[in-house]
Amino acid sequence: MKFTAIALTTFLVIAHVSAQPLRPKDGDTGELAQQAIAAYRKGDIPAAIALATKLTEAAPKQPQSWFLRAQLHANQRQHAKAAADYSEVIKLDPKSSSAWQARGEANFKLGRIAESIADFDKFLELVPDQKPHHWQRGISLYYAGRFKDGKEQFEIHQTVNSNDVENAVWHFLCAARADGVEQARKGLIPIEGDGRVPMAQVHQLFAGQARPEDVLTAAKAAPAQARGSEPLFYAHLYLGIYFEAIGDAKQARDYILKAAGRASENGYMGDVARVHAENFTRIEKK
C-alpha cells in the first residue's frame, strides 16, 4: 500500500526520539541515546542495539528507552523482540499511541492477527481521526475473517487515498468473502492515477478485463529504474490473492510463495505476503 500518515519508518521514529532527549538518570542516558542513534545511522545495528540495551538498563522507567530499542529490533525484522519492547513502553505509558500502532504491526508480522487488531483498535481510541488512514487494520480484519468490517475499513480509507489500486483490491477481497465474487466485481472501486507498475493491469484483472499473463507481462517490462523487485513482487502477490478469491488454490499458493520470497525487500506488504504464505504452511500441516 502507499505511504499514509500512520506508516512510520524506523528512521523517522528514531529521529523523533532524538528530538526529545531522555532526562539524565543514573548517568547520561541522553548521551547513550545519541550514541545508539549515531551507530544506527552508520549502519552498525549490533552496536546500536547494544547501546539501546544499556539505555533500558540505565533508564528502565523511561518509555523512550524501550521505544528506541523496539524500533531497532523492528528494523532487523526481530518482531518478537520488538513487540516485547513495545509492551514495556505501553506498561510505562498506556497513552503512547505510537507504541500501540507499532506493536500492532509487529503482532501482525508475527501472525498474531487478533492481537494486531486489538492494538490497532487501541491506537484508534487514542487518535480516532486516524481511522480513515488505517489500511493495516483492514488487512488484519481480512485475515481474521471479519470481512464486513474489513470492507468498511477499506471504504473509509478510500476517502483519504482515492487513487490506490491496492485499496480497491483489498475492498474487493473482503466483499468477495462477504458477498460473493460477482457482487464484489460489480462493486469494485474505480481507480485512476495509480502509476505504479503493474497496478493498472492488477485493477483490470479484478474487474474481469485483463488476464493474469497481462499482469506478469507488465511487471516484467517495467523500466530498469523501477525500485528493486517491486513490480514482480506486486504481480505475484496480487495474482496469488486473485486466484485465492476465485477458488484456484494451487495457483494461489504458487504465486503467494513467490511473493513471500521477496518479503524482506518490500516493506509491510512483503510481510503480508509472508504471513499469507505461512497460513498455507499451517493449513498443509493440519
Q: What is the 3-state secondary structure (H, E, C) of 110-169?
A: CCCHHHHHHHHHHHHHHCHHHHHHCHHHHHHHHHCCCHHHHHHHHHHHHCCCCCCHHHHH
- Once rounded to an integer, what is the mean pLDDT over residues 258-285? 88
pLDDT at 227: 52
The pLDDT of residue 14 is above 60: no
pLDDT per position as a tens digit, 216-250:
999 999 886 555 569 999 999 999 999 999 999 99
Percent with pLDDT over 90 in the chain: 83
Q: Write the CB contacts of 139 (distance below 8 Å, at least 6 apart in sequence).
A: 108, 150, 170, 272
Tell me the per-residue pLDDT of 103-150, one tens digit each, with 9 for 90 and over. 999 999 999 999 999 999 999 999 999 999 999 999 999 999 999 999
CB 192 within 8 A of CB 163: yes
286 pLDDT higher than 90: no
Classify burial at 42, counting beta carbons within 10 Å of its beta carbon; exposed 0-12, middle 13-18, buried 19 or more: exposed
Give 70's pLDDT tier (boundaries 50, 70, 90).
very high
What span, in angstroms and rounded, lies between the C-alpha atoms of 244 and 232? Answer: 18
Mean pLDDT value across the chain = 90
Task: Output the nine-digit C-alpha cell for 173.
Answer: 477481497
Q: At residue 33, does pLDDT exceed 60?
A: yes
Query: For residue 8, is pLDDT > 90?
Result: no
The predicted-structure confidence for 142-172, as pLDDT tens digits, reads as follows: 999 999 999 999 999 999 999 999 999 999 9
The more confident residue out of 196 and 284 is 196
What's the pTM?
A: 0.90
Segment (H or E) for 1: none
Dihedral over Cα of 215, 216, 220, 226: its sign: positive
- Residue 23 predicted with pLDDT over 60: no
- Of the pLDDT bands very low, low, confident and very high (cuts 50, 70, 90), residue 22 is very low
pLDDT at residue 200 greater than cutoff 80: yes
Query: Once rounded to an integer, what is the mean pLDDT over residues 199-204?
Result: 98
Inter-residue contact 34 to 55 (CB < 8 Å): no
Cα–Cα–Cα angle for 126, 130, 133, rounded to 5 degrees: 150
CA pair distance 283, 238, nearest whole angstrom? 20
Distance CA 139, CA 249 (A): 20
pLDDT for position 75? 93
CA 249 → CA 89, 117, 179, 239, 242, distances in Å? 41, 26, 20, 12, 10
The predicted pLDDT at position 29 comes to 81
Which pLDDT belongs to residue 12?
Answer: 35
